Structure 1
Amino acid sequence: MAAAAAAARAVRSVWRLAGLAGLPGRGAFLAPQHPQRTSQLLCIATQEKGTGPNLEEEPNQTQHEQKSDTGSAEKMLIEEKAKLEEQLKEITDKYKRALADAENLRQRTQKLVEEAKLYGIQSFCKDLLEVADVLEKATESVPREELKDENPHLKNLYEGLVMTEVQIQKVFTKHGLMKLNPLGAKFDPYEHEALFHVPMEGKEPGTVALVSKVGYKLHGRTLRPALVGVVKEP
């Protein structure tokens, strides 16, 4: 009896898998005279069971797909991070260059302003140099042997010229204008202008032997070179 019940349950399972449950006359297929039909149904059930969805493989496949998606997302994030870092570096470099250019411009502008303050009186000073030259020549032209009490007018005139010359030199010094009298100094083409060369015993060649006109410098910059004669080798 137990064997018969188990066989009946197996057949019912076959009917359910074959989709024939509930059809009329299904009991006829269970009769001994239809063993071939029963065998066919068992084969169909076995095939459907073998081709059905594998529930054990689906979770593994889903996990693999999730890992693949995660790896792709991480790769995209890494690439995007690299692009952003490159853009940040480029923008930072441009910003630093802009700051450097702005600082250089500020320094150049400041230098131009300072030079304008220092050398803005350059043309005016050049005009005053002619006045200083006239005073110097006038002072030098007075004969020293005539400066006696017997010639008070000449003496007073000479003293007035000297005082005026001293005063104008003080004004020049106040505004950064310095006299250059390079007698005996080494010839400097940036401060001196050679008018002639002359041999002279006891003097080193290349030194200034004679000053025809003194020079001037304004805040360290040569405003007018001294006109000189230079000692040459004998």
Structure 2
Amino acid sequence: MSDENAAQGETPETEIPATETPEVDPVEALLAENAELKDRVLRTHAEMENLRKRTERDVADTRSYAIAGFARDMLSATDALSRALLVIPEETRATAEGTLKSLIEGLELAEREMQRLLGKHGVKPIEAAGQKFDPNKHQAMFEVPNPNVPEGTVVQVVQEGFAIGERVLRPAMVGVAKGGGAAPVAEGVDKNV
């Protein structure tokens, strides 16, 4: 610095000592970078594997449950066939001849075929009669006083329920026992909890 700069009111420049940067071993730097990249690849691979599994599960669910709406609609047609057969008295069925006999046989055949086709596509009836009432599978329509049956047992099925896979398409409409003893407890269940 010159005296001239000092006279003009400028501050003298001081030399800043250069900071020494520690030398990084290139091999260690590459090993660290390699470890980081390996970790990224493993994480990406795990994410892709999870995505593949989730996609497979979604595709399987779609295949299993894609016909749920159609099956629910077909249950209405099946119910109509069943009701048509229920209104025909047993005596009329036994003595029917000619066209009436063909009509009854046609209704029975159509109902069996509808049930077979629904079963073929995974639509199964829900067991209800004699079972413990399950609000996930049954819809209680009324209570039946019955001291001979444990309370909460399904004693009458008004309309059959159906499920596809684990999903309920339509709950069974049922009558439930009231006034009987407590429902039996499954073995191994701790009642003190």
The alignment's TM-score, normalised by the length of structure 2, stands at 0.72
User: What SS does structure 2 have at the residue aligned with 1:227?
Assistant: strand
Looking at structure 1, the residues matched to 90 and 83 of structure 2 have their Cα atoms a distance apart, in angstroms, of 14
Q: Residue 162 in 1 paired to residue 108 in 2?
A: yes
Cα deviation for residue 76 of structure 1 reads: 5.2
Q: 3-state DSSP class of the match of 1:147? A: helix
Larger deviation, residues 188-197 vs 171-180? 188-197
Q: 1:91 to 1:184 in 2, by over 3 A?
A: same
- CA contact under 8 A between 2:147 and 2:179: conserved in structure 1? no
Residue in 2 that maps onto 1:53? none
Cα RMSD (Å) = 2.2
Structure 1 segment 193-204 matched on structure 2, within 5 A: 193-204=139-150
For residues 89 and 229 of structure 1, the distance between their equivalents in structure 2, rounded to whole angstroms, comes to 66
Q: Hey, what does 2:59 align to over in structure 1?
A: 113
Pick from 165, 180, 183 the counterpart of residue 129 of structure 2. 183
Which amino acid in 2 is paired with 1:100? A
Gaps of 5+ in 1: 1-74
Larger radius of gyration: 1
Identity of aligned residues (%): 36
| Contact 1:197–1:229, Cα closer than 8 Å, also in 2 | yes
Structure 1 distance, partners of 2:67, 2:36, is 47
| In structure 1, C-alpha distance between the alignment counterparts of 2:47 and 2:123, rounded to whole Å | 35
1:99-178 aligned within 5 A = 99-149=45-95, 151-152=96-97, 153-178=99-124
Could you tell me how far 1:221 is from its partner in structure 2? 2.3
> Cα gap change, 1:211/1:92 in structure 2, threshold over 3 Å: closer, same or farther?
same
| Alignment check: 8 A CA contact 1:181 1:211 kept | no
Note the alpha carbon deviations across 1:113-136, whole angstroms, 9 max, x for none: 222222211111111110011111
Provide the secondary structure at the position in 2 that maps to 1:117. Answer: helix
Which runs of 5 or more residues in structure 2 are unaligned?
A: 1-21, 181-193
